[in-house]
């Protein structure tokens, strides 16, 4: 147990302590959170509190769980987990029901930010529920930026995302070394598990192959005036678009030469080629996958990229212009015999197993929505473990902490082609179109669709997919808001 600070408050002593989830003093926190969530949302929310493995809230895994003690008794608490290399995700912010309106939650958030900064994180991310106005007010007062339309009805948005930047790498003590970054970059090809929005795809020619040096199909693209004319006049005049881009792993979008250099990949080339057809400069901003779609509604970005799958649920709030076809699949550790090598065609086949997948993805949504299939079949339910990073999912699979991974078809196929990953692809489960994402009613969709179709017609599209080994994902024509594949 580590004491982080001694905080004087109204002549009483406050102490922050770092504890494991198993600490008995954590139980009141989880119990009250579960009861409160259940009361507000009309369903049992206690299971949600065990959604993430306990180890994600420990220092070796980049996380922490803090309790604020007053005279030795827990009065408030909170945690964070590793969201990505630069981002800590706040979770479980809580104040004991007998100690509210004392500013304790604000103290907890501030201490979590301090610890995150000391650990080398540059950004904090979180979501809160639409029926928790006091939490929304807390984060706004603490300087967090809402990644959603604050004028919209929260019930139409769902979880409300916020972010806060903690400073630049030079400002942060203990920031990860360049050696750490270099090792991570060297391992990128081995860590290719995708999240239908993580920016990673795969292909067949061969899986994950890169084109020979000097092959640059985008260099040949020129502006097409008749297509650019489809843009709104103010966009044509400005000549720029803000793009929220999820940069993850090859071949979709990644940093082959470090984050101080430009990203590369299939999604990067396709977006740049569309921009050239439209005569626009793309102002690309790196963003975590799950923050991009909400940020479109708030106006932070004009367009989002990152292998976003088109689903009926997303179509309620997002417009899509398709550019590839991908979907959902499964993979297991090489040599694992629980499933043999059978193709997964029904989730009942997974009953009794532990499935790993990405947070906030279509995979998590599918597994959650269908969790009752095992009970109906008279079988033990499957368990779902959610991870924020592809690397964490792969590690869990290799260590036997999960039995199977659900991710994108192309990403899993690509990964299985990497000998060091030691995985086997079990085939397709559900196909999805993938597209550029826009806020609902965006005036940009027709121009983007025409630009993608122009690239298909003149052969640049095929060259880009061939360059990145993703020709199996080619589409015949771009569509706006197609129905989800059934």
Instruction: State how far the Cα of 366 lies from the Cα of 371, in Å rounded to an integer.
Output: 8
Report CA torsion sign: 394, 361, 166, 60. Answer: negative
Q: Does the residue 471 lie in any domain?
A: yes
For residues 450 and 485, state if they share a domain.
yes
For residues 118 and 253, state if they share a domain.
no
Range of the domain at 34: 2-171
CATH at 227: 3.40.190.10
For residues 123 and 241, state if they share a domain.
no
Q: Determine contact, residues 80/112, Cβ cutoff 8 Å.
A: yes
Instruction: State how far the Cα of 134 lies from the Cα of 435, in Å rounded to an integer.
Output: 36
Q: Does the residue 211 lie in any domain?
A: yes
Provide the 3-class DSSP secondary structure of residue 16.
strand
Q: Determine contact, residues 373/347, Cβ cutoff 8 Å.
A: yes
Angle between the 445-458 and 266-278 helix axes, to the nearest 10 degrees? 110
Q: Does the residue 75 lie in any domain?
A: yes
CATH at 54: 3.40.630.30
For residues 358 and 263, state if they share a domain.
yes
For residues 52 and 201, state if they share a domain.
no
Convert the pLDDT of each residue in 4-35 to its tens digit. 433 333 334 678 999 999 898 888 888 888 77
Q: What is the maximal distance between C-alpha atoms in the chain?
A: 75
Convert the pLDDT of each residue in 355-406 to its tens digit. 998 877 788 888 998 989 999 999 999 999 887 666 678 888 988 999 999 9
Q: Which of 144-153, 238-247, 308-317, 440-449 has the weakest average pLDDT?
A: 144-153
For residues 165 and 263, state if they share a domain.
no
For residues 228 and 346, state if they share a domain.
yes
* 41, burial (CB in 10 Å: exposed 0-12, middle 13-18, buried 19+): middle
Per the document, the length of the chain is 486
- The model's pTM: 0.58
- In 3D space, the residue among 421, 403, 251 whose CA is nearest the CA of residue 330 turns out to be 403
Indicate whether 268 pLDDT > 80: yes
Burial 55-93 (b: 16+ CB within 10 A, else e): ebbbeeebbbbbbbbbeeebbbbbbbbbbbbbbbbbbbb
Query: Considering its fold, how many domains does the chain have in total?
Result: 2
For residues 117 and 11, state if they share a domain.
yes
Instruction: State how far the Cα of 279 lies from the Cα of 275, in Å rounded to an integer.
Output: 6
Domain edge (last residue) among 171, 205, 240: 171
Domain edge (last residue) among 171, 199, 218: 171
Convert the pLDDT of each residue in 141-178 to its tens digit. 788 888 887 777 887 887 888 999 986 434 433 333 33
Indicate whether 230 pLDDT > 80: yes
For residues 34 and 148, state if they share a domain.
yes
Q: Determine contact, residues 440/152, Cβ cutoff 8 Å.
A: no
For residues 97 and 235, state if they share a domain.
no
Convert the pLDDT of each residue in 312-329 to its tens digit. 989 999 999 999 998 888
Residue 210 pLDDT: 43
For residues 459 and 377, state if they share a domain.
yes
């Amino acid at each position: 147990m580590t004491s982080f600070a001694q905080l004087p408050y109204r002549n009483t002593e406050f102490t922050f302590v770092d504890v494991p989830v198993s600490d008995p003093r954590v139980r009141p926190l989880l119990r009250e959170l579960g009861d409160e969530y259940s009361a507000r949302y009309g369903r049992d929310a206690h299971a949600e509190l065990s959604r993430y493995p306990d180890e994600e809230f420990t220092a070796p895994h980049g996380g922490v769980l803090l309790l604020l003690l007053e005279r030795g008794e827990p009065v408030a608490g909170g945690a964070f987990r590793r969201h990505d290399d630069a981002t800590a995700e706040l979770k479980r912010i809580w104040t004991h029901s007998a100690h509210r309106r004392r500013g304790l939650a604000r103290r907890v958030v501030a201490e979590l930010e301090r610890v995150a900064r000391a650990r080398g994180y540059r950004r904090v991310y979180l979501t809160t529920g639409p029926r928790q106005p006091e939490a929304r007010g807390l984060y706004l007062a603490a300087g967090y930026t809402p990644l959603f339309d604050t004028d919209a009805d929260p019930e139409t948005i769902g979880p409300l995302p916020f972010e806060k930047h903690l400073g630049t790498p030079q400002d942060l003590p203990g920031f990860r070394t360049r050696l750490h970054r270099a090792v991570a970059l060297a391992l990128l090809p081995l860590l290719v598990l995708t999240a239908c929005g993580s920016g990673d795809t795969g292909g067949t020619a061969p899986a994950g192959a890169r084109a020979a040096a000097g092959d640059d199909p985008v260099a040949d693209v020129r502006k097409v005036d008749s297509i650019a004319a489809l843009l709104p006049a103010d966009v044509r005049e400005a000549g720029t678009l803000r793009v929220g881009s999820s940069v993850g792993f090859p071949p979709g979008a990644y940093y082959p030469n470090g984050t101080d250099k430009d990203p590369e990949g299939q999604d990067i080339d396709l977006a740049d080629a569309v921009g050239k057809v439209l005569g626009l400069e793309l102002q690309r901003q790196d963003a975590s996958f799950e923050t991009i779609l909400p940020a479109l509604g708030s106006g932070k970005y004009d367009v989002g990229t990152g292998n976003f799958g088109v689903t009926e649920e997303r179509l309620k709030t997002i417009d899509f212009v398709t550019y590839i076809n991908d979907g959902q699949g499964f993979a297991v550790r090489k040599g694992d015999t629980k499933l043999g090598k059978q193709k997964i065609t029904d989730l009942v086949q997974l009953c009794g197993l532990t499935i790993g997948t990405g947070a906030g993805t279509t995979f998590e949504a599918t597994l959650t929505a269908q969790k009752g299939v095992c009970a109906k079949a008279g079988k033990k339910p499957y368990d779902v473990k959610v991870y924020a990073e592809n690397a964490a999912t792969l590690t869990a699979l290799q260590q036997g902490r999960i039995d199977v991974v659900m991710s994108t078809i192309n990403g899993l196929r690509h990964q299985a082609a990497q000998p060091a990953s030691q995985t086997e692809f079990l085939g397709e489960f559900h196909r999805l179109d993938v597209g550029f994402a826009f806020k609902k009613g965006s005036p940009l969709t027709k121009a983007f669709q025409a630009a993608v179709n122009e690239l298909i017609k003149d052969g640049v599209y095929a060259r880009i997919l061939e360059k990145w080994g993703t020709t199996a994902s080619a589409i015949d024509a771009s569509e706006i808001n197609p129905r989800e594949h059934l």
